[in-house]
């Protein structure tokens, strides 16, 4: 099975949107048809083609909306053009990597440079440790330099802790972004540190987009994140709009809020009124602080969330990505350095397959002390075995042999695959909660039972809608200019 978009026409359309406002209307009107003409030629199952098409067209429309609202600074436009060109071009480092390994390199890194955080959110995946430990600026800088030079990487995800509290050698995260103008930074943040000065600097740099954490409405957000946080998030939105910084949302779906996240009221408030461009959805993963399996959404809620997410993407043309439900659009699990996937590096230098797999096979400081580079990550057996599983599960299989990519996660959906590998390769827990989960039989048993229950609900959907395409309908309407929805400033 191959990814349908390579040298993405969607990215080319977005590039036209940014480069020339005169072309924008025509480019958007062509988006549906041009993207579909490319995707339909792939050998992917019918339902996957539909989801990839809906995702890419939503990206085009979402970017167009914020440009029409005047929410993008000149620097942000310029940096996005450079980012898109880098993504579209044939990079010598990426080609050399493919020649050696048979696949293209990871598409990004996720780095949490600091554990420091000013909030105390229920169920935080980062754990209970309150250490001010940080990844030193020189090592952080070296990782990004090597990612660019050895992998041709131009995209990095920053998490935490709270990234805007990162300090090392008198420098902060924005200093790092300034040192790497050829990289585009997606920063997961609680938003409380984005004052007018910080937003203005981001607007001047142009290569940062913050994804700000919300849990739905004000009451739901503050129930998890703390009293007064919602008001600070609203201030951050205002500061970002004023400075021309494209921004989005980060949402955690739990058993208590999953039906609220994509309600008409929430979608209208954040995307139409506040001007968010996108949202990343993370279904609660029982790791980190006081992990609780009962907070996971039920199999039935998971299906409802999946249905509603694709409905919003299709009807509202809003760019939404769910690390689980969007597996059908990105060809499954992205962990362990898969082609177009990623590795995770935390403030201690621990390297894990994924943010949601808190077990390290190595440490970047140890690699550097031994004279190595990030290229050595590709040779770690623990990571190799996960990539082999990904290929056999669906990433490199024949189309009709692709297994259920609505359940792509090697941890939450396939704990019976992950835990034996952790033990076989002696991957180290990165915090006390991960150690406790590994030793707790009830944790494994609970996740395994959850996996089987989800499969009972989701496997028939996968087989009927995705493999056989019984309910797949692709409608390419004649596109007209949409009225500009004014953001509330």
pLDDT at 489: 38
Q: Judge if 83 and 103 occupy the same domain.
A: no
Could you tell me if 150 and 134 lie in one domain?
yes
**For the chain, counts of helices (H) and of strands (E):** 19, 12
Q: What is the phi-psi region of residue 8: left when phi exceeds 0, alpha when psi lies from -120 to 50, beta otherwise?
A: beta
State whether 53 and 140 are in the same domain. Answer: no
- Per the CB < 8 A criterion, the answer to whether 302 and 24 are in contact is no
**Using CA atoms, how far apart are residues 48 and 51, in angstroms rounded to an integer?**
5
Residue 275 lies in a domain: yes
Residue 13 has pLDDT above 70, yes or no: no
Would you say 62 and 318 are in contact if contact means Cβ atoms under 8 Å apart? yes
Tokens read off for 66: 């914020």
Cβ–Cβ < 8 Å for 139, 349: yes
Nearest to 412 by CA among 368, 458, 372, 481: 458
For residue range 229-271, list pLDDT tens digits in order.
999 999 999 999 999 999 999 999 999 999 999 999 999 999 9
Which residue do the tokens 């090697």 mark?
410
- Residue 396 neighbours by CB distance under 10 Å: 17
**pLDDT at residue number 39:** 87
- Of all residues in the chain, the percent with pLDDT exceeding 90 is 76
Rounded-to-integer distance, Cα 159 and Cα 164, Å = 10
- Note down the domain range covering 61: 9-87
Spell out the alpha helix ranges (H) of 40-109: 46-68, 74-88, 92-101
Helix axis angle, 229-243 to 196-205, nearest 10°: 40
Mean of the pLDDT values across residues 389-413? 94
Buried b (16+ CB within 10 A) or exposed e, 311-325: ebbbebbbbbbbbbb
- Same domain for 35 and 132? no
Which residue in 260, 259, 250 sits closest to 304, CA to CA?
A: 259
Q: Is 96 found in the same domain as 83?
A: no
pLDDT value of residue 12: 64
The answer, yes or no, to whether residue 443 has pLDDT greater than 90, is yes
- The answer to whether residue 191 scores a pLDDT higher than 60 is yes
Mean local confidence (pLDDT), 23-32? 67
**Which of 184, 198, 143 lies closest to 14, judged by CA?**
184
Does residue 486 register a pLDDT over 70?
Answer: no
- Cα-based distances in Å from 77 to 40, 96, 179, 184, 278: 30, 30, 18, 12, 17
Q: How many CB atoms lie within 10 A of CB 434?
A: 22
Structure tokens at 224: 């998890």
Which of 87, 108, 133 is a domain's end point? 87
Instruction: Compute the average pLDDT of residues 320-331.
Output: 95
Among 379, 402, 433, identify where a domain stops: 379
Question: In the predicted model, what is the mean pLDDT of residues 215-222?
Answer: 95
Burial 262-279 (b: 16+ CB within 10 A, else e): beeebbebbbbebbbbbb
| pLDDT interval class at 361 (50, 70, 90) | very high
Same domain, 60 and 167: no
| pLDDT over threshold 90, residue 27 | no
Q: Do 21 and 138 reside in the same domain of the chain?
A: no
Phi, psi for 299 (deg, rounded to 5)? -55, -40
% of the chain at pLDDT higher than 70:
89
Handedness of CA 391, 394, 400, 401 (dihedral sign): positive
pLDDT category of residue 485 using cuts at 50, 70 and 90: very low
- Backbone φ and ψ of 413, nearest 5°: -95, -15
Q: Are residues 17 and 65 in the same domain?
A: yes
One domain for residues 150 and 50 = no
CA nearest 339: which of 59, 97, 110, 49?
Answer: 97
123 and 72 within one domain:
no
Flag whether 444 is in a domain: no
Give me the pLDDT at residue 16, please: 64
- Would residue 415 count as lying in a domain? no
Distance between CA atoms of residues 241 and 246, nearest Å: 8
- CA end-to-end span of the chain, whole Å? 45
The answer to the question of residue 473 being in a domain is no
- 278 lies in a domain? yes
CATH number of the domain enclosing 309:
3.20.20.70
- Mark whether 96 and 83 lie in a shared domain: no
What's the confidence (pLDDT) of residue 6? Answer: 44
Name 17's bridge partners.
Answer: none
Strand 108-111 relative to strand 359-360, pairing = unpaired
pLDDT at 14: 58
pLDDT number for residue 35: 81
Q: Is pLDDT of 480 > 80? A: no
103-146 tens-digit pLDDT = 999 999 999 999 999 888 877 766 556 566 899 999 999 999 99
Q: CA-based diameter of the chain, in Å?
A: 61
Neighbours of 205 (CB within 10 A): 19
Distances (CA, A) of 56 to 168, 281, 314, 320, 437: 38, 17, 11, 10, 37
Give the pLDDT score at 390. 98
Rounded CA-CA distance 15/82 in Å is: 9
pLDDT of res. 473: 67
**pLDDT-derived band at 3, boundaries 50, 70, 90:** very low
Question: Within a domain: residue 425?
Answer: no
Task: Confirm whether 226 is domain-assigned.
Answer: yes
Question: Which whole-number Å values give the CA distances from 278 to 103, 221, 328, 464, in the listed order?
Answer: 29, 18, 18, 29
Query: Structurally, how many domains does the chain consist of?
Result: 2
Q: How confident is the model at residue 320 (pLDDT cuts 50, 70, 90)?
A: very high
pLDDT at position 483: 41
Domain-ending residue, one of 45, 69, 87: 87
Instruction: Give the model's confidence band at 19: pLDDT under 50 very low, under 70 low, under 90 confident, else very high.
Output: low
Q: Examine residue 166 and state whether it is found in any structural domain, yes or no.
A: yes
Pair (114, 178) in one structural domain = yes
The C-alpha atoms of residue 11 and residue 83 are separated, in whole angstroms, by: 10
């Amino acid at each position: 099975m191959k990814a349908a978009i390579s040298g993405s026409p969607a990215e080319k359309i977005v590039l036209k949107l940014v480069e020339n406002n005169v072309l924008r209307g025509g480019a958007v009107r062509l988006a549906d048809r041009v993207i579909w003409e490319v995707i339909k030629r792939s050998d992917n199952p019918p339902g996957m083609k539909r989801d990839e098409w809906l995702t890419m067209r939503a990206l085009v429309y979402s970017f167009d909306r914020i440009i029409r609202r005047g929410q993008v600074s000149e620097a942000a436009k310029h940096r996005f053009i450079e980012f898109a060109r880098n993504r579209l071009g044939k990079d010598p480092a990426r080609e050399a990597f493919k020649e050696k390994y048979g696949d293209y390199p990871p598409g990004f890194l996720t780095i949490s440079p600091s554990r420091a955080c000013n909030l105390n959110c229920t169920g935080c995946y980062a754990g209970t440790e309150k250490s001010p430990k940080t990844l030193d600026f020189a090592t952080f800088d070296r990782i990004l330099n090597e990612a660019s030079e050895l992998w041709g990487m131009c995209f990095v995800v920053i998490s935490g802790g709270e990234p805007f509290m990162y300090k090392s050698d008198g420098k902060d995260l924005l200093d790092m972004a300034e040192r790497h103008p050829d990289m585009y930074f997606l920063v997961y943040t609680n938003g409380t540190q984005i004052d007018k000065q910080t937003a203005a600097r981001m607007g001047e740099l142009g290569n940062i987009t913050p994804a700000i954490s919300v849990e739905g409405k004000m009451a739901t957000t503050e129930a998890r994140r703390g009293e007064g946080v919602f008001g600070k998030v609203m201030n951050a939105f205002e500061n970002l709009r004023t400075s021309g910084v494209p921004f989005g949302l980060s949402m955690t779906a739990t058993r208590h809020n999953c039906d609220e996240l994509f309600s008409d009221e929430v979608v209208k408030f954040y995307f139409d009124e506040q001007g968010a461009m996108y949202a990343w959805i993370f279904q609660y993963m029982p790791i980190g602080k006081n992990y609780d399996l009962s907070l996971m959404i039920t199999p039935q809620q998971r299906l409802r969330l999946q249905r509603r997410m694709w409905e919003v993407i299709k009807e509202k043309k809003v760019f939404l990505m769910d690390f689980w439900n969007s597996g059908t659009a990105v060809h499954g699990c992205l962990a362990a350095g898969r082609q177009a996937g990623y590795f995770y590096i935390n403030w201690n230098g621990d390297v894990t397959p994924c943010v949601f797999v808190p077990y390290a096979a190595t440490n970047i400081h140890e690699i550097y002390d031994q004279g190595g580079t990030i290229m050595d990550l590709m040779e770690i057996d623990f990571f190799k075995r996960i990539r082999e599983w990904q290929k056999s599960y669906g990433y490199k299989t024949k189309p009709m042999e692709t297994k259920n990519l609505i359940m792509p996660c090697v941890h939450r959906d396939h704990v019976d695959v992950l835990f034996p590998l952790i033990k076989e390769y002696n991957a180290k827990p990165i915090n006390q909660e991960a150690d406790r989960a590994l030793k707790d039989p009830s944790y494994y048993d609970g996740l395994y039972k959850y996996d089987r229950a989800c499969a009972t609900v989701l496997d028939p959907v996968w087989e009927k809608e995705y493999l056989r395409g019984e309910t797949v309908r692709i409608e390419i309407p004649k596109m007209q200019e949409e009225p500009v929805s004014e953001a509330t400033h």
